[in-house]
Amino acid sequence: MPPPPPPPPPLPYARTAGEVELQDAGIPRAFRRAMMSVPSSPTVGEETGLPRPAVWVVAIVLPCLVLGYSAALTYCFCQDQPALAASAPWRPLAIVLGGVPPALITVVFGRMHLFLPRAPFALLEALVNVGMCCLGLPLWVAAILVAGLGCTWMFIALACLVAMLTAGVTAFWVCLARVYG
């Protein structure tokens, strides 16, 4: 009787987050703590219930929807308040600027599903819960208020907040790609 065949090699996304070593010295401590705090979490690859073509569609369409919604809000603002939009050309820009961080978060969301299947699913949930619900969407609402109120100093503060949030999400994305990519 021949010996049984060896088991198939494990899939690249069938590892838990605890099996990935966090030895890269270039990762900031805050991101390292967040990544190490979820050692028994299932991975993004294990939790994704969609087939790969559907994940590609979501990864492409979701950021476009966010930017399209931002553009539609800007168009509605310019149509309803043409005098306000003409008096200060930065007002419509404030609405578009508010949609940049949510769009970037949806890009990272799609890239994590496509190219970082070994990342812990809890990090993806944290990205959506903190990045989108607690930071991105309130910033978008604040951008609409800034456009309506028309204070120049508020627009400058909004631009600084958008720049900081964009840099933070990009740094988080780079750390995830280094560790789990």
Q: Domain boundaries in the chain?
A: 44-180
pTM (global) more than 0.85: no
| Tens digits of pLDDT across the chain (181 residues) | 677 777 655 544 444 444 455 555 567 776 666 666 655 678 888 888 888 899 999 999 999 999 999 999 999 988 888 887 788 888 889 999 999 999 999 999 999 999 988 888 888 888 999 989 999 899 999 999 998 888 889 999 999 999 999 999 999 999 888 888 7
Give DSSP secondary structure letters for 21-86.
----TTS-HHHHHHHHT-TTPPBHHHH--S-HHHHHHHHHHHHHHHHHHHHHHHHHHHHH-HHHHH
